[in-house]
Amino acid sequence: MIDLKLLQKEFDTVSKKLMRKGVDEKLLEKVKVKFEELKEAKVNFESLQAAQNAMSKEFGVYKREGKDISELKAKVDENKIHIADALEVQRLRQEELEKIAMAIPNIPDDDVPDGEDEESNVELGRVLTPKEFSFTPKEHWELAEQNGWIDFERGVKLAGSRFSVAYDMGAKLERALINFMLNYNAKKGYTEVSVPHIVNRKALEGTGQLPKFEDDLYKIEGQELFLIPTAEVPLTNLFQDEIIPADNLPIKMTGYTSCYRKEAGAAGRDTRGIIRQHQFHKVELVCITKPEESEAVFDDMVNTASEILTALELPHRLVNLCTGDLGFGAAHTTDIEVWLPGQNTYREISSISNTRDFQARRAKIRYKNGKKNELVNTLNGSSLAVGRTIVAIMENYQNEDGSISIPEVLKPYMGM
RNA sequence: GGAUCUUUGGCAGAGUUGGUCGAAUGCACCGGUCUUGAAAACCGGCGAGGGUCACACCUCCCAGGGUUCGAAUCCCUGAGGGUCCA
């Protein structure tokens, strides 16, 4: 949720920034008006309520003094009707406002580059040089089938398209990577947390997946529960409605979960292989910080994810997302793209975002700054998407005969 | 599963003939006096959210609903905890 007070006070500045992200200025004006109307309704309701309270107190006095209360009662009864009306008005306006305000994305930072889509993303740097192959490197699905690591047909049999089954070294690699990543993150000061894979609506509203992106979520029939699309949701919402002592910040967490996504808007994209699955494994980083320290923590998260790739000797690059490619809740995002020689391109393997106070405002996560309660900053990032890491390992570690070597650092995790 | 009791501020714990209760008291905590420093003692402050320049004011005594001019206090439903019976 954006800061409505800020929108009201500095409409021109805020709307200009949001227009960079394609938000219609008319919509923002509407939000501003609705916000003012809501405040008005609140003041109205509260003053009626105050009058009611005062009269009720008088009642006590009258009774004790044995005075006649019929006139006062008439007044109070009339006021009651007004209160009911005022409350209804307030409720409606609140609903109206929330409906549109909740669908407004976060304000992008000033240094986020302009752009429609990923074409305008800005490369920040490269780590490791892709190696030259003496043969034409294959794509991962081919290697996966050839080595018997991944079974696409039986995944479809069990659950449908975009599901797959991992076997043998493919399955072991999954497990090894998860452990390796979690251990690495723990060493960097991130506390390991194991969370539910099913969450309620409030949690998803807190992190911004709802109400706007319900189509992308798997919902449990008959219940207001959803499968998580990322561990970011439960990890961030651990602190929903809490006021955290300043000394406890920053909170740095890492967690492994499966992630479940309908991929509603992705028809036809990445249909081969395991780049885009309905269920995939991911190790996530989530941090909760004071506003002034969030950028330092952000850098640490990017480094942590990048270091894992470096340890796996996978070439990658860092990319600063442009306004058009930025997610709903992010103020700015750095993607890490790993080199895939089979596809001869870099593909996203991690996305690290600073949402600043956008999620904190929705989820009411605050901290005690002296005497005042202030919103925290929340950050999230993958470190890393496990399936895509396997893809990267397959393509980068392939040999001419189609076999695949195992990265040195993973061998201990695979009983080798 | 049945009966009964219970659910209050960081903790403990008053508050059930409904009104002056957002709530006594103790502990904890913060500030001060005293002290070389600390402890003790004494003085002062001290629930949360919204709102305001600051007040005022609104909301919150497990959750939700109801009765009433007015509810922490009464009624209903649900959840957690205790005890007894199965």
Residue type, A63: K
Does residue A77 approach strand B to less than 7 Å at its CB? yes
| Of the candidates A369, A315, A268, the residue with the CA atom closest to the CA atom of residue A137 | A315
Segment A340-353 shows an average pLDDT of: 95
Residue type, A321: L
Does residue A80 approach strand B to less than 7 Å at its CB? yes
What ipTM was assigned to the predicted interfaces of this complex?
Answer: 0.81
The distance (Å) linking the CA of A39 with the C1' of B55 is 19
Tell me what pLDDT residue A77 has.
Answer: 85
Q: Which of A77-81, A334-338, A366-370 is the most confident on average?
A: A334-338
Q: How far apart are CA A223 and CA A274, in angstroms?
A: 30
Place of tokens 């969450």: A199
Neighbours of A356 (CB within 10 A): 25
Does residue A52 approach strand B to less than 7 Å at its CB? yes
Task: Return the closest nucleotide (C1') to the Cα of A77.
Answer: B69
Q: How far apart are CA A149 and CA A104, in angstroms?
A: 43
pLDDT of residue A143 exceeding 80: yes
Which regions of A104-169 does DSSP assign to beta strands (E)? 122-127, 150-151, 165-166
pLDDT of residue A267 exceeding 90: no
The distance (Å) linking the CA of A395 with the C1' of B33 is 75
Nucleotides of B under 7 A from a protein CB: 19-20, 48-51, 57-59, 69-70
List residues of A with catalytic annotation.
Answer: 261, 276, 348, 351, 388
| Of the candidates A157, A160, A117, the residue with the CA atom closest to the CA atom of residue A277 | A160
- Quote the distance between the C-alpha of residue A328 and its chain's center: 8
Q: How far apart are CA A393 and CA A416, in angstroms?
A: 17
In chain A, residues 172 through 201 whose Cβ sits under 7 angstroms from any atom of nucleic acid strand B: none
Residue type, A255: G
Place of tokens 């790993």: A338
Spatial neighbors of A219 by CB under 8 A, at least 6 apart, are A225, A226, A227
pLDDT of residue A371 exceeding 70: no
A251-260 and A191-192 beta bridge pairing: parallel
The distance (Å) linking the CA of A238 with the C1' of B82 is 30
Does residue A55 approach strand B to less than 7 Å at its CB? yes
- Quote the distance between the C-alpha of residue A217 and its chain's center: 13
Does residue A83 approach strand B to less than 7 Å at its CB? no
Domains of chain A: 4-101 (1.10.287.40), 118-414 (3.30.930.10)
The distance (Å) linking the CA of A372 with the C1' of B49 is 12
Segment A345-365 shows an average pLDDT of: 92
Q: How far apart are CA A127 and CA A140, in angstroms?
A: 22
Which regions of A6-85 does DSSP assign to beta strands (E)? none
The distance (Å) linking the CA of A44 with the C1' of B20 is 27
Task: Return the closest nucleotide (C1') to the Cα of A4.
Answer: B50
Which phi-psi region, left, alpha or beta, contains residue A168 (left: φ > 0; alpha: ψ -120 to 50)? left
Q: List pLDDT tens digits, range A155-213.
A: 999 998 899 999 999 999 999 999 999 999 999 999 999 988 988 888 888 898 888 88
Structure tokens that stand for A111 in this block: 């240094």
A239 within 8 A of A396, measured Cβ to Cβ: no
Residue type, A364: K
Segment A284-312 shows an average pLDDT of: 96
Beta bridge partners of A205: none
Tell me what pLDDT residue A313 has.
Answer: 97
Q: How far apart are CA A197 and CA A227, in angstroms?
A: 6
Segment A215-231 shows an average pLDDT of: 87
Q: How far apart are CA A109 and CA A111, in angstroms?
A: 6
The distance (Å) linking the CA of A59 with the C1' of B64 is 29
Task: Return the closest nucleotide (C1') to the Cα of A5.
Answer: B51
Q: List pLDDT tens digits, range A50-93.
A: 999 989 888 888 877 777 777 788 888 888 888 888 888 888 88
Does residue A247 approach strand B to less than 7 Å at its CB? no
A378 within 8 A of A286, measured Cβ to Cβ: yes
The distance (Å) linking the CA of A96 with the C1' of B74 is 37
A275 within 8 A of A347, measured Cβ to Cβ: yes
Task: Return the closest nucleotide (C1') to the Cα of A39.
Answer: B51
Mean pLDDT of chain A: 91
pLDDT of residue A9 exceeding 80: yes
In this complex, the residue with its CA at the shortest distance from the C1' of nucleotide B69 is A56
A305 sits in which H/E element: helix A294-311
Does residue A75 approach strand B to less than 7 Å at its CB? no
Does residue A63 approach strand B to less than 7 Å at its CB? yes
Tell me what pLDDT residue A370 has.
Answer: 67
Does residue A67 approach strand B to less than 7 Å at its CB? no
Does residue A370 approach strand B to less than 7 Å at its CB? no
Spatial neighbors of A136 by CB under 8 A, at least 6 apart, are none
